[in-house]
Each structure stands twice: as C-alpha cells, then as structure tokens.
Amino acid sequence: MIPMSEKMKKILIILSLVFILSVALASFGIGYAGGVRGVGLLGVCFFLTFGILVVLAQLIPAGILLSSFIATASSSFRGSEMPIRAA
C-alpha cells in the first residue's frame, strides 16, 4: 500500500465527494426531466447514482486488465521475438 500524506488524503476525499455529488445531481436532473416528482424523485436519484457508481467500479478495473493484456500480447520481452501482428 502506498503511504499518503494527510494533504493528499484530504484532496482525494474532496474529489471523491465532488464526483459522487455531480453524479447524484445529474441523476436528479434526469429523473426530473423524465417527469418524476415528489419522493419518487429521491428514489430515482439514489437508484441511478449508485447504479452508475457500481458500473464504474466494475468497468475501471476491467479496462485496466484489458489494456494490460493487449500491451502484453502486442509487445515482446526479447528483442529477437516478433510481436503478434493484428490481421
């Protein structure tokens, strides 16, 4: 685990909260524009917000794994080897 300073932790917390708040407000706007009013608007806001966060939590590591797989498959560790050629 990488040690972080207190200042870095505060910046990371602020950025995380700003991201979650922006996603929540966008979900709120989508629900309101779709005609949802009252308490249902709050439910739609939470549903969309946490749905988006869960999808991003799955897509980001999958993208990292996919990009590392492509980089490994297309480059060779030895100079004399030929990398896989895309047809």
- Contact between 33 and 46 under an 8 Å Cβ cutoff? The reply is no
Domain that holds residue 68: 38-73
For residue 76, give both structure tokens.
């060779």
pLDDT at position 84? 63
- Is 65 domain-assigned? yes
Q: Say yes or no to pLDDT of 82 above 90.
A: no
Q: What is the pLDDT of residues 21-72, one digit of tens each?
A: 998 888 888 888 988 888 888 888 888 888 888 998 899 899 999 998 888 7
63 within some domain: yes
The C-alpha atoms of residue 85 and residue 81 are separated, in whole angstroms, by 12
Classify 71 as helix, strand or coil.
helix
Contact 52, 30 (CB under 8 A): no
Number of domains into which the chain is organized: 1
- Residue 62 has what pLDDT? 92
